[in-house]
Amino acid sequence: MKALVTGCAGFIGSHLSERLLEAGHRVVGVDALTDYYDPRIKRRNLTALLPHRNFRFVRADLNRVDLARLLPGIQVIFHQAAQPGVRASWGKTFEIYVDQNIRATQRLLEAVKRMKHLKKFIFAGSSSVYGRVTSLPMRESQRCAPHSPYGVTKLAAENLCGLYHANYGVPAVSLRYFTVYGPRQRPDMAFHRFILAGLAGRPIRIFGDGRQSRDFTYVSDIVSANLAAAARGRPGMIYNLGGGSRILLKDALKILEGRIGRRLRIVHEKKAAGDVDRTGADTRLARRDLGFRPGTPLARGLSAQIAWHRQMVREGILE
């Protein structure tokens, strides 16, 4: 198989690209290496990919690159590239989210709508499309009401995938990720910030009282689900991907404290605009069609992420 992975230098995209290469596939990876966070981290994510004989890296913005030179022979597209972050999506920066999440997705879909050899277009969606809910678990069939501009753009991109499937037969499958964590996690994400502060003995700042809950999903389980979606996902479908580790944030911090091996100093701050109180995935559709069964308990996944953080600190990339 020859695959295109957008956002290949990012948190999930780099893990996915490595797994594809390990399985013997050819990969074209594209990434703009934007400065949303330190590009050194993204370059570090590429270190195992760049020397591989079956990997081709293209540094480019999906809104400006000549897509025709990326697509010859591509059988599966894993569209991971996006402008992330709930809290940063307000105000003047919203235009970046429209550009990178909506326009880039539409441009890619337009480029592939007549590709006869394309077997699957896998879109990396988000649980942020659900917004604030009154009951759990969140089901793919329920009404989506995003609570942040970021969630609005991810839902719009997901809807575009559905439209191009319905009108042009693009074999699009959307995967709604629930709070992914693990090695290479982005610096703006909670566990990244918590671990880095905990290792350095700095205060850990959390938004709210710590009673918000999340369905944490380990990155290797997300990668496995992407590969399963490429093989068995039903075009036009949307699948929740949650790790089955739904837990209160304050309880997750207790696990983290034990894994770091020192007492954490926690500072509570005002709840941030766009944050939701709880998430939880109904994954029955993913189990049925993809065989999705997350296998990484939170404690084990956090240990792996902490080990990665320690290595990045030793290399001087994180501090």
Give the neighbor-by-neighbor strand order of the sheet with 172-177: 55-59, 26-31, 2-6, 76-79, 120-126, 172-177, 238-241
Q: Which of 36, 97, 130, 150 is catalytic?
A: 150
Give yes or no for a contact between 206 and 248, defined as CB atoms under 8 angstroms apart.
no
Return the HEC string of 186-240. Answer: CCCCHHHHHHHHHHHCCCEEEECCCCCEEEEEEHHHHHHHHHHHHHHCCCCCEEE
- Whether 130 sits among the annotated catalytic residues: the reply is no
CA-wise closest residue to 201 among 270, 268, 261: 261
So which residues are the catalytic ones? 150
